[in-house]
Structures are given as C-alpha cells and as structure tokens.
Amino acid sequence: MVFKSQLLTDDRNNNEHTAIEAAAGLNRRQFLRRVGLSAGAGLLITQNMTQSLASDAIEKNHSMQLTKDDLPTALLDERSSSQPSLTQTRCITPTIETRLFASSNVGGSDDRNQLALERMACAGFNVNNPTITNRQYLRFAGTDSQRASDLQNLATGAIAAPKLLLGVRGGYGAMRILPMIDWLTLGRIMQERGTILAGFSDVTAIQCALLAEGDMSSLAAPMLYSEFGKTVPDQVSCRQFVEALTNPNLVIDISDASLTSPNLPSILTSAEPKAITGTIWGGNLSVVSALAGSEYLPRMDGGIVFLEDVGEQPYRIERMLYDLYLAGAFKGQQAIVFGALSGAGEDSYDKRYDVDTVIRQLHQLTRLPIYSGMRFGHIGQKHSFPLGTKCQISSNTAGGYQLAFSDYPTIKADAIQVEGLWQTA
C-alpha cells in the first residue's frame, strides 16, 4: 500500500523533469496559444496529420499489441465512404480548464497524442498538463504513483480541480491505483467545482470507485488518444461527446437491440414495461465484474446497471455476469441496460450458445427487465452519457425506449467548437 502523502512528492519529481524540457522553449501548443489558434492551427495540424497517418499504419501492423480501446480501429473501417470528410475549421481560444489523467495503458504514438491535443485546443479545451502523455513505465502510462497522482493531487488540493478531467486511453492498469486515491475527498472537491471526469473502457474502474467511495458522477465518453487522435475521428462520437458535456437534460432514443444482439427485443421483460427512474452506474463488463466483492463496486439502491464489452466470447460474457450475480450486484436494482457487445464471435462447441442465449439466461436469473442496444461501447458513432446520476427509462409505442438523464455537471455550449475535434488542414 503506497501512502497517499507520497504521491505528491513522486509527481513533483516527474514534473521537475518535464518542466526542464518545457523551459527550453515554447512547444507547439504554447505557440498556438501565443499567436492565436485560428491563425496557426492549420499548418501545425498538417504536419502532424502526415506523421499520424504513418503511425496509424505502424499500429495496425502490430495488432498483437492492441488493447480493448484499440479494437474499433482494428474491427471497423475508419475510412469508409459513410464517414464524413475532414474539413478545416476556424479554431477558438481555449477557455475550458482541462486536465488529463492517464490511468491505464501508455499511448502508442506521440504524434497521435500531439494531434489529439491540438484538436482539443482548437475545440476550446485548455489542457494544462499535456506532458503526461509522454510518461511510460512498462506497459503503463507511468508508474502507479504517477498515474494515481493525476487524481490524488486534486484531492490533496495541490492542484486545483479543472472543469474537465479527460482520460487519455484505456487498456489496463486503472485497478492498480484505486487504493492510492482519497475518493471521498476527490468526489467532494469535484462536486464543489462541477468537475466532469470523462472516459470509458478501463477507466470504468476509476468511474466506479469515484461513485462508490466519492458519491460523484462521471461521463461515459471517448478519450484523448482513443478517439481524438485518430487520423479520421468519428464525427458522430465527437458531436455526441459535446452534446453530453453541454446538455443538462440529455435524452437518448434506442430503436432496436442490434448492438447487443440482433436476436433480442429492445426490452426483455416478463411484464408490461413501465417507466423506471434510478441512478445509472456501471461501464465495461470486464472491469465491473473484476470489482465484484470490493469497496469500489457501487451499491446503488434502486439502481440501473449499464454494461458493455468487446471481443469477449458468449461464455466469457456469461461468466462475468455470473460473477456480478453471485456477488449480489444485481440485488435491489431496477433494470439492466446493455450497450454494444461487439466482436463476441461464435462458441466453438455450439453456435447456438450466443449473446442472445446469455442475456435471456440473465433475465431468468435476475427477473429484471433488460434493455438492449444502447449506442455506447467499443464502437463508432457512440452516444456519450452520464454515469452515477439520475436516469429515467421509458418505452415507446414503436418497441424501443428512451433514456433521459438529469442532475449532472455541464459546460456552456458556446465555449466549445465541436468541429475542432476533427480539425485538419
């Protein structure tokens, strides 16, 4: 167990090294801010686009190193004809105080990180600590102490809480740092400041701990490296990210269950579906199930459980669901909502043993209504949404359902230029 008081010292040692490098001269982001983003962003992003194209090719040739947040790049064609073309846009002065946290894997490409940072600045996000994208320890984005300090320094007051805390990427590693953070104090400070923590995939561990121990909401959303650093960012995901950040009354409509399983109804229930209101919590199934039995798994009376995953065979999905069931995670809950369960594949013993079979078995076990097809997970065109906040689910006459969210922090819409998130020259 690392004492929390040691984290600030470790982080300062790391920051001293990066400060020496920064003192040598203005980096490109500082130059952008000095001369004015609208005048200089195009040239700089042109240079990085060329480098990013090369790095994307390298990453795709090293598929053995892919982690879950990389899988959409491997499974989906980002350059399909349906993807809107990138355009040059006029940047705005970044005013939204933003900090990054790198709780999991190291980024695979410095150029991709730099491109993502420039896009964030163009869109209006003033990132205060871009150098953490350069950290690495083994497979992780820094030592456990360094990664924990991204959040613990906010809890101690050593660093002021920003408006947005954005995850760099997922993969693995967030669980290692959970005992090193004062979640209760961090949650209180974030509530006072109206801070929004955003991410998904392995960041689910951070979001669950923040809710369970700090009673603070977060945002299920794309991340710096995983989305905004792509050669061709998904414009729908970018727009929905900004929508969730700025709309205090977010509503998402779901028409079918195909993202979970095409063989399921949108609402699987033994009775006439009725409107449900409760705190929605959860995230990536692999991570949520790994927290079973720990203090970091939220215990929400009358809650709504959200789950998604990628690249897991049906029997593994069922085993993780049983982990949660046997740990009592579904007790006292009102419903289960499934997002995308992509890349599940076929069972080698019996092809009939599929996701549809698994979900129906869960329904028999829990007797809870199950809503499928929520447009979030390791997919393109995803809809960001708040976790750990009030959610109302209601059915519609077309067989689908609607999720309406309330009581979560937001950002003023006029502070964001959404087109900057896919800016190019």
- Whether residue 418 is predicted with pLDDT greater than 60 in this model: the reply is yes
Any idea which of 34-48, 109-123, 232-246 has the lowest mean pLDDT? 34-48
d(CA 29, CA 6): 31
CATH 3.40.50.10740, domain 96-233, yes or no: yes
- Of 287, 137, 295, nearest to 148 by C-alpha is 137
Q: How does pLDDT run across 137-180, given as a tens digit for each residue?
A: 999 999 999 999 999 999 999 999 999 999 999 999 999 999 99
Any idea which of 66-75, 115-124, 165-174, 276-285 has the lowest mean pLDDT? 66-75
- Whether residue 13 is predicted with pLDDT greater than 70 in this model: the reply is no
Provide CATH 3.40.50.10740 ranges for the chain.
96-233
Determine which one of 213, 308, 312, 318 is catalytic.
308
Q: Give the architecture (CATH level 2) of 251-406.
A: 3-Layer(bba) Sandwich (3.50)
In order, the DSSP letters of 250-305 are: -EEEE---TTT-TTS-SEE-SS----EEEEEEEEEHHHHHHTTTSTTS---TT-EE
d(CA 203, CA 223): 10
Give ∠ CA 122-39-162 in degrees, rounded to 5. Answer: 30
Is the pLDDT higher at 106 or at 2? 106
Task: Please tell me the predicted confidence (pLDDT) of residue 58.
Answer: 35
Any idea which of 67-71, 94-98, 290-294, 364-368 has the lowest mean pLDDT? 67-71
User: Do 152 and 182 touch, CB atoms closer than 8 A?
Assistant: yes
Determine which one of 109, 145, 149, 201 is catalytic.
201
* pTM, 2 dp: 0.84
Residue 193 burial class via C-beta count within 10 angstroms: exposed 0-12, middle 13-18, buried 19 and up: middle
Q: Does the active-site annotation cover 318?
A: no
Provide CATH 3.50.30.60 ranges for the chain.
251-406
Alpha-carbon torsion, ordered 182, 188, 192, 197, to 10 deg: 60
The edge-to-edge listing of strands for the beta sheet with 385-387 is 125-127, 96-101, 164-167, 196-199, 218-220, 385-387
Any idea which of 185-199, 300-314, 339-353 has the lowest mean pLDDT? 339-353
Q: How does pLDDT run across 241-264, given as a tens digit for each residue?
A: 999 999 999 999 999 999 999 999
In order, the DSSP letters of 301-334 are: TT-EEEEEEES--HHHHHHHHHHHHHTTTTTT--
Unique residue bearing structure tokens 């929905």: 240
Q: Does the active-site annotation cover 308?
A: yes
Any idea which of 56-60, 313-317, 356-360, 364-368 has the lowest mean pLDDT? 56-60
Determine which one of 118, 218, 342, 378 is catalytic.
378
Element (H, E) at 196: strand 196-199
Q: Does the active-site annotation cover 218?
A: no
